[in-house]
Structure 1
Amino acid sequence: QGSLVFLVSGLAVLGYAAALSAQPTYQGVVRAVCGPAAGRLCELCFLVNLFMIAVALLRVVGDQLEKRELLGAEGEGSPWFVDQRFTLPALCALVIFPLSVPREIGFQKYSSILGTLAACYLTLVIVLKYHLAVGPLTRPSGGNVIPTICFGFQCHEACVAIYSSMRNQSFSHWVAISVLSMLICLLIYSLTGLYGYLTFGGDVAPDILMSYPGNDPVVIVARLLFGVSIVTIYPIVVLLGRSVVQDLCAYPKLRATLVSERHEWQSRVALTISWMAATLAIALFVPDIGKVIELIGGISAFFIFIFPGRHREGEGWEAAGPFWAVLITWGVVSVLGGTFVCGQSAALAVMGLLR
């Protein structure tokens, strides 16, 4: 709950900065508000983080496909068409790619409804499975949970694009949406994590659905819906990553020139295919999603704490009046806290990968 203060305040600052700078992307807001150097650093961190998130999402889908019961084939003699190396690329080509090609993020609001419902169903299954199970109560084990929290609540990368696509862009409306969204995520994540640990203790898998037997029809449905929720998230990550690549590759003068619709479409399709192919190739060989999440969570601290905490004096920010000192204090605390979280999480993740 304490992290929720930083999460919501970061969203509020980013929304306000987006309105102030009139930039449609996160990296554009940082470049306009914090300067070109910070903008370039943001683009590089943004690209690395989004790429790793995309790998993690595909890895989670791959974990669900590893359960042969999901596809009706069980045992070592399973046919080739249920192998993850076939099903995951097929899913990317037939389902994820068409959802990832559109130019604007507003298109994803319809598919995201399915993802939200799928997450609610997953939480309900985990809670009911715990209460209906017969066995001793287990205690959650401790650990470095901050990276996982950052990974789970990392909507900050997409928040500027979402704000730019809203019809009502008033600051109060944005804050209300941010608070409500974070509270819903807090409820879903807390119940899922709590009852998952109470059910399996320290033996719970990083992907909790992998801890349940694969022949349970309720769990099979949960896996299918969980896959749907991931499929709705991945295109958003592709869209954001594509915008960063376009910013990095385009010269400043070319950014202002007009390109034909055909050329823009060809460029968008080529970037989407390249992004999906690269992340898919890595996802097929990642053994442990838990270590990847730790590393991603550390990098996500940049976008949750550090960049929202930075500021540069300019037109519009002085309107805070007597609260200016409070905002500066919050910015210092946010940057220092984010630096600590980022450094600690990245170091622990790298040490874990080298073991």
Structure 2
Amino acid sequence: MSSADFRSLSQYNEPLIRSPSIYSSIGSGIYLPQGTPLHGGVFVLANTILGAGMLGLPFAFAACGYLMGTLMLTGFGACATGALVMLSEAADHVGRPASFNSVAELAIPGAGIAFDAAIAIKCFGVATSYLIVVGDSIPKAAVHLGASGILLERRFWTLAALAVAAPLAYMPRITALRHVSAVALACVGLITVMIVCESIEQCKGPTALVTNPSQTLHALPLFVFSYTCHQNIFSITNELSDPTPQRNIKVCVLAVGAALAVYIILGASGYSTFGGLVDHDILASYPSDNGIVAVARLAISLVVSCCYPLQAHPSRACTTSIVRACGGEDIDDFVLHMAITTVFVLASGSIALVVTDLGLILSVVGATGSTTVSYILPGACYFILFPERPSRWLGFLLACTGLIIMPLSLCLIFWK
């Protein structure tokens, strides 16, 4: 694609409100084609939500029991939906197409770069972890399938995943990713069905409706960050066909609702199979020679490979905004797009090849970046931008929730 072609693809992305402080944030984000059907937006948003983290939900259920697990998922799902709707309404208020930067700058002048940095770093860390998941999962499945040699090397499969995901990360628009997302969601459905079928077997450990409150507290981060997808809501709603507030809300509700259904079924089924003995990763609890588990490992590897570009796009958009704000206004759009994406791909791939565990780093990034993106920024912006609405106090409550969750999550990470 030439530089001229790239610019022609982005011509319709001109913002309705052309403010010098926010204009640089528009252009290299992920934009669905104009007229994208509602289900396409739902697929992309749901795929952003559903990643490898869902395999830890049975362990979360073991920590708090069936009842509290279901209530926690439902409660934080409602928070996520509310935050997504607040961001969508803030985007309508600022003017379409909007971005995190444009909304943040209007609500809190000067804060755009800080929020962009938080989103870019968070998405980069998550994308890197996806490559690590592939490198860890496929060799375990390959052993059961009788593979040998290089097919058992984690680095080989990390590079293979990168070869599949990287071209999608370079796309200036997210058009094709709605089809990729549909494939990923089908894999999520397959994994869920497999775990449900395995739950028919006799439970191997104790189960409970409610457990000790201290155990529930330690599982809190697993529930809090189960619905992080807010970095893509602007790009998705920007390009919906007939993007009315009602249709935008429908995308949010359907995507989070689908994720909630998967989470409850998968979490409760995995817990019923292993009870309190379930591993942090549900697949690690099954026998290594289980053929169903081998297929599930391949499926989750495909899911996270499809999720990789959904993290690359918002990270690039935020990095582009930072570069523009720091004196890079004259850099050609196409050149900047290619340069940032290449650095993202090479850096994430290199880290995934040499590091096997980013647990602590990703936990800290999640506790800070995800809380900012999912709770603090949506609530604060909504509260500031809509002073005449009584519902603004819901935004205030959401932001305060985030300010409580962040230090609490950090304490739980380091105090184990």
Q: Which amino acid aligns with 2:279?
A: A
Correspondent of 2:88 among 15, 19, 34: 15
Q: Partner residue of 1:219?
A: 293
After superposition, the C-alpha distances for 1:267-308 in whole angstroms (9 at most, x for unaligned) are: 333322321222233334555566556434423111111101
Q: Partner residue of 2:396?
A: 332
Correspondent of 2:408 among 316, 320, 344: 344
Correspondent of 2:188 among 119, 134, 138: 119
After superposition, the C-alpha distances for 1:75-99 in whole angstroms (9 at most, x for unaligned) are: xxx4234200222113212x11112
Q: Partner residue of 1:139?
A: 207
The alignment status of 1:37 with 2:102, answered yes or no, reads no
Report the CA distance between 1:169 and its aligned residue.
Answer: 1.0
After superposition, the C-alpha distances for 1:214-265 in whole angstroms (9 at most, x for unaligned) are: 433322222222211111111010011111111111247754x683xxx60x
Report the CA distance between 1:48 and its aligned residue.
Answer: 1.8
**Which aligned pairs between 1:59-208 and structure 2 lie closer than 5 A?**
59-69=132-142, 72-73=145-146, 78-93=148-163, 95-131=164-200, 133-139=201-207, 142-143=215-216, 144-208=218-282
Q: Partner residue of 1:277?
A: 346
Aligned in 2, Cα 1:135/1:206: closer, same or farther, shift over 3 Å? Answer: closer
The 3-state SS of whatever aligns with 1:134 is coil
Contact 2:363 2:413 in 1 (8 A): yes
Aligned in 2, Cα 1:149/1:253: closer, same or farther, shift over 3 Å? Answer: same
> Which is further off, 41-50 or 133-142?
133-142
What is the number of equivalent residue pairs in this alignment? Answer: 336
For 1:207 and 1:272, locate their aligned partners in 2 and report how far apart those are by CA, in whole Å.
31
Q: Which amino acid aligns with 1:205?
A: D
For 1:195 and 1:283, locate their aligned partners in 2 and report how far apart those are by CA, in whole Å.
31
**Length-normalised TM-score, structure 1:** 0.84
Report the CA distance between 1:39 and its aligned residue.
Answer: 1.2
After superposition, the C-alpha distances for 1:186-240 in whole angstroms (9 at most, x for unaligned) are: 0101211222223233443333223223433322222222211111111010011
Q: Partner residue of 1:250?
A: 324
Percent identity between matched residues is 24
Report the CA distance between 1:149 and its aligned residue.
Answer: 2.4
**Length-normalised TM-score, structure 2:** 0.73
Q: Which amino acid aligns with 1:159?
A: I
Q: Partner residue of 1:57?
A: 130
Report the CA distance between 1:120 and its aligned residue.
Answer: 1.0
For 1:313 and 1:190, locate their aligned partners in 2 and report how far apart those are by CA, in whole Å.
31
After superposition, the C-alpha distances for 1:328-349 in whole angstroms (9 at most, x for unaligned) are: x212211111011111112322
Give structure 2 stretches of 5+ with no counterpart. 1-73
Report the CA distance between 1:135 and its aligned residue.
Answer: 4.2
Aligned in 2, Cα 1:165/1:252: closer, same or farther, shift over 3 Å? Answer: farther
The 3-state SS of whatever aligns with 2:83 is helix
For 1:129 and 1:205, locate their aligned partners in 2 and report how far apart those are by CA, in whole Å.
15
The root-mean-square deviation of aligned C-alpha atoms, in Å, is 2.7
Report the CA distance between 1:14 and its aligned residue.
Answer: 0.7
For 2:242 and 2:85, locate their aligned partners in 1 and report how far apart those are by CA, in whole Å.
15
For 1:215 and 1:312, locate their aligned partners in 2 and report how far apart those are by CA, in whole Å.
51
Higher helix content, 1 or 2: 1
For 1:216 and 1:176, locate their aligned partners in 2 and report how far apart those are by CA, in whole Å.
40
After superposition, the C-alpha distances for 1:52-71 in whole angstroms (9 at most, x for unaligned) are: 21122222222212405357
Q: Which amino acid aligns with 2:241?
A: R
For 1:160 and 1:135, locate their aligned partners in 2 and report how far apart those are by CA, in whole Å.
44
Q: Which amino acid aligns with 1:240?
A: P
For 2:93 and 2:376, locate their aligned partners in 1 and report how far apart those are by CA, in whole Å.
19
Contact 2:141 2:295 in 1 (8 A): no
Contact 2:123 2:314 in 1 (8 A): yes
Contact 1:23 1:29 in 2 (8 A): no
Contact 1:139 1:197 in 2 (8 A): yes
Report the CA distance between 1:172 and its aligned residue.
Answer: 0.7
> Which is further off, 30-39 or 231-240?
30-39
The 3-state SS of whatever aligns with 1:152 is coil
> Which is further off, 294-303 or 280-289?
280-289
Give structure 1 stretches of 5+ with no counterpart. none
